[in-house]
Amino acid sequence: MYVRTSRINENTDEQEFIIMDLKGNILKTLYLPQTANPQHFVKMMGMTPRFYSIANNRFYYLVENEEEETWELHVKDIK
């Protein structure tokens, strides 16, 4: 189980995740890129959007490219 915390690494600007087993034992702590959190979506849809996913030891996340007005899919391996 992956748990996203509110802690931010000041040196890398990445967000803390804790990997736990199903009994709640902490297996590992790591930092992954922060993801977009557009507040207007929350107000419009009444829910919190998630712009990331974790699958097969990879962290998939969307990054907004404001200059080109597009979204980019990025992938980071979790080791």
Residue 55 sits in which domain range? 2-77
- If one counts every other C-beta atom within 10 angstroms of the C-beta of residue 17, the result is 19
pLDDT of residue 47: 65
Tally the domains of the chain: 1
Collapse the DSSP code of 44 into the 3-class scheme (helix H, G, I; strand E, B; otherwise coil) and give the result: helix
pLDDT of residue 37: 65
pLDDT of residue 51: 85
pLDDT of residue 3: 93
User: In this predicted model, what pLDDT tens digit does every residue of 28-51 receive, in sequence order?
Assistant: 999 999 987 666 666 666 666 678
